[in-house]
């Protein structure tokens, strides 16, 4: 299906990314047997909570959630593949399922996006292949008693990211989203892998990179400031760079300002619905979140806006309704 080049569209309007999947999946109250389905009924390890696996065992749930976000006004859907590397799936002994997880997750999101684009060609919908940070880090040791130890190597990360990237592209994604970057060296391995895949396949897709400022220190987990993070990934030709997760919108604003003033790329943000309460739940209402995001828009800081943990279709609807009244941050 022919759609405008998103690199042009991001100059014309603020694009809306979707919101959280995990918290919505929890509302289905799935049990171990739901995650196993027929495909994995004899699998040797527990798989409950492996949301990425739903692409193979409950695609109907993912399609339904994608459609809810599209109905709310999202322009860009993320694939349900945040933990879709062999490294992350090793926790469930499902390394061999990684290609299928990513391929089918991309196909499900693409099917939903294409249906909505066909209904309203004036509002084309896109699919971003979500590539998470994995649960291992190149810059830090998991063992405080052995600071030189690393639980993963550069080569292992590159190989894992390549496998995920190939499957997402084969499944039909329009964009690759390297998100929740807490260790920039991991992100560099991911970008290196993506570049190799592009060379091997003879294609090139737009890339979004989204870091995570972990707390009020204003730094990523591996110790970089917002400006240092931006510098570290700016060697790559990106559609956008920005931040997601860990913080609510108001706390994210100063770091977006730094990036917005220092890059020629588009700027993205998908903050959490505030900070979690003592039960780990997010209480910030769509209206409250929209008030905070309005400051991003009034400051002309943003090209792509969405939500992360705790956000729902109602949050995205409030954001989309608001964003429609503003012009995007100017790009060359």
Tens digits of residue pLDDT in 262-309: 999 999 999 999 888 887 888 899 999 999 999 999 999 999 999 999
- Check pLDDT > 90 for residue 149: no
CA distance 128 to 66: 12
Q: What is the predicted pLDDT for the residue at 123?
A: 97
Q: What is the predicted pLDDT for the residue at 56?
A: 98
- Check pLDDT > 80 for residue 15: yes
CA distance 126 to 115: 11
Question: What's the Cα-to-Cα distance from 303 to each of 8, 152, 157, rounded to whole Å?
Answer: 11, 34, 30
pTM of the model: 0.95
Q: Tell me the per-residue pLDDT of 176-226, one tens digit each, with 9 for 90 and over.
A: 999 999 899 999 999 999 999 999 999 999 999 999 998 778 888 888 899
CA distance 213 to 215: 6
280 DSSP assignment = S
- Tokens describing residue 259: 């990036």
- Check pLDDT > 80 for residue 20: yes
Confidence of residue 246 (pLDDT cuts 50, 70, 90): confident
CA distance 35 to 32: 5
Q: Which domains, from first to last, does the chain contain? A: 6-323 (3.20.20.330)
């Amino acid at each position: 299906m022919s759609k405008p080049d998103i690199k042009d569209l991001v100059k014309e309007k603020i694009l809306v990314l979707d919101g959280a999947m995990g918290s919505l999946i929890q509302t289905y109250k799935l049990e171990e047997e739901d995650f196993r389905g027929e495909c994995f009924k004899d699998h040797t390890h527990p798989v409950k909570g492996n949301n990425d696996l739903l692409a193979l065992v409950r695609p109907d749930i993912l399609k339904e959630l994608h459609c809810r976000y599209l109905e709310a006004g999202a322009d860009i859907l993320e694939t349900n593949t945040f933990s879709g590397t062999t490294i992350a799936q090793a926790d469930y002994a499902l390394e061999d399922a990684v290609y299928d997880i990513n391929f089918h997750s991309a196909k499900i999101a693409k099917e939903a996006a294409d249906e909505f684009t066909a209904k309203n060609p004036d509002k084309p919908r896109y699919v971003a292949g979500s590539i998470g940070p994995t649960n291992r880090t190149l810059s830090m040791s998991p063992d405080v008693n052995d600071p030189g130890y690393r639980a993963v190597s550069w080569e292992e990360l590159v190989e894992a990211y390549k496998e995920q990237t190939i499957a997402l592209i084969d499944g039909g994604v329009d964009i690759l989203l390297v998100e929740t970057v807490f260790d920039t060296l991991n992100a560099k391995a991911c970008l290196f892998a993506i570049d190799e895949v592009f060379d091997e396949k003879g294609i090139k897709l737009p890339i979004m990179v989204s870091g995570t400022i972990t707390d009020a220190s204003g730094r990523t987990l591996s110790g970089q400031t917002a400006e240092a993070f931006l510098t570290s990934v700016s060697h790559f030709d990106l559609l956008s760079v920005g931040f997601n997760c860990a913080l609510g919108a108001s706390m994210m604003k100063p770091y977006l300002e730094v990036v917005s003033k220092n890059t020629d790329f588009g700027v993205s943000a998908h903050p959490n619905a505030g900070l979690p309460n003592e039960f780990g739940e997010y209480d910030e209402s769509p209206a409250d979140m929209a008030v905070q995001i309005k400051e991003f828009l009034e400051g002309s800081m943003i090209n792509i806006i969405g939500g992360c943990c705790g956000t729902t279709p109602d949050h995205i609807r409030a954001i989309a309704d608001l964003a429609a009244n503003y012009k995007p941050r100017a790009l060359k």
